[in-house]
Amino acid sequence: MITFKTAMATDVEILALLSRVTYVESHGHFIDDKKDLFKYCEQAYSIKKTAEDLNDKNNLFYIVYVDDLPVGYSKIVLNYPFENKTSNHSCRLERIYILNDFIPMKIGQAFLNFTTEEAKKNKATSMWLSVYIKNKRAINFYTKNEFKNIGQLNFHVNGKEYNNSVLSKKI
């Protein structure tokens, strides 16, 4: 059975671990220097940083479970416009990841739909995200879900830039 739950402060260890593992699974092969990848994960997905993010009222985290096993998570940031291209009531889908072993179950679509509905409940009128330009699987997924390219954003991993497309849609 697949369930979606709002993450709480007590889920910090689950979120930190899911964050690290899913980021390495989805982006690790794009990062040239594995030491940079490890250092980035240490900073971005530590328990301390995850707890800080969970305590920010503009951040909403959700965990997807398969038979009570946490297999993915999402993070939206409320009231976060992208430059002058989205409204002040825009939210950023900062993260949506599922462990590789569970991707064949095709739960990503249901999880995106759930996360989008939660954003709407919190008065978001549009959603935007950034995706690495070489991540064709993700780009295809978002395009299929009616996200449109509205710009670019550089993502930094220990000083190295990775070009990202910014995609958005009204919700």
Separation in Å, CA 97 to CA 11, 18, 19: 16, 8, 8
Tens digit of each residue's pLDDT (9 = 90 or more) over 15-69: 999 999 999 999 999 998 999 999 999 999 999 999 999 999 999 999 999 999 9
CATH class of domain segment(s) 2-125: alpha beta
pLDDT tens per residue across span 95-127:
999 999 999 999 999 999 999 999 999 999 999
Assess whether pLDDT exceeds 90 at residue 157. Answer: no
* 8 has a pLDDT exceeding 90: yes
**pTM for the complete prediction?**
0.94
* Residue-by-residue DSSP string for 140-163: HHHHHTT-EEEEEEEEEETTEEEE
CB 127 within 8 A of CB 110: no
Q: Which residue, among 104, 103, 52, 105, has the nearest Cα to 75 in the 3D structure? A: 52
Tokens of 27: 């982006």
